[in-house]
Amino acid sequence: MITNAVESYLAVRRACGYELKSVGVHLLNFAAYSDARAKPYVCSETAIEWVALSRSIAMRPRLLGEIIRFARYVHAEDPRHELPPPVFGSEHRSRPVPYVFAKGDVERLVEAAHQPVYQGLRRDTYSTLFALLACTGLRVSEAIGLRYGDITTDGLVVRCTKFHKSRLIPLHDTAVARLEQYLERRRRYGPFDDHLFISMYGRPLRLHNVESAFRTAAMKIGIPCGLQRSPRATPHSLRHTFAVRVLETCPDDRNHVTQNMLALSTYLGHGKVTDTYWYLEATPELMERIAERCEIFVSGGKP
């Protein structure tokens, strides 16, 4: 039965460190579908038929890709398992164009979040949160997960992040001062919770809380954040902006670029350095500098 083969496949990959939560659900559902049709081996026709049942057209290449990877695993031991062709196209979608804040807009956003629209700690919470995201490049999930114990003399300790890696984020003196100022007020609220950022009800912030507050502040200063706009500003755009500004300050010679890219990738907590290279395409200024260096190289100069 394919179900047994799926369970073996998932066990092996999870032993290598992969979680495969959604992948596991998808493959087990496919296995049940195949078993119900008396297909004891991976069948290309059955796989394509099952994937086509997905209502999301965008999900179909990904689902079939998961089956193909599983099929390669079982085919190595038993050639009766077929390798389905990628008939729904590539599962690797191009990343959306990131929204990068213009110079001065981050300050305006922080000021808009601090305007006295809400009572209590809320305006201090979101103005501090947005400022912290902008000056550190943290993911929103990392920032709202911070606790008192994560503040050290060396910076912020970000624990068990997206790729299960903890890292240290150094803070500029101005950021430390702003954070300490916020914490003086924060400690009066929600005394039984040690999260840095809490809601008006004294509970840890959730992603939808941050997105709502961001939209409110962005709309005040005319920053596009509607679903129909591309690119559109989101809280994650503060991380994009941080990465782009760091790259813009990097010298153009090869050694500096290599060292800076590796350092930035580590600092941002990227799983692959290629995720960091993506930011080189983010602004016309960076693309212009890349084009200039390419012309110099083609002309016989040093890269």
The residues carrying an active-site annotation are: 139, 162, 236, 239, 270, 279
Q: How far is it, in rounded angstroms, from Cα 137 to Cα 268?
A: 7
Give every CB contact of residue 292 below 8 A, 6+ residues apart in sequence: none
Residues 143/171, Cβ–Cβ less than 8 Å: no
Cα diameter, the chain: 68
Task: Look up residue 147 and give its DSSP letter.
Answer: B
Give every CB contact of residue 94 below 8 A, 6+ residues apart in sequence: none
**DSSP track, 45-61:** HHHHHHHTT-S-GGGHH
Closest CA to 237 of 299, 283, 292, 174: 283
300 alpha carbon, distance to own chain's centre: 39
Element (H, E) at 73: helix 60-75
Q: Where are the beta strands (DSSP E) in the chain?
A: 151-152, 155-158, 167-169
Query: Within 13 Å, how many C-alpha atoms sit on residue 80's CB side?
Result: 6
Element (H, E) at 169: strand 167-169
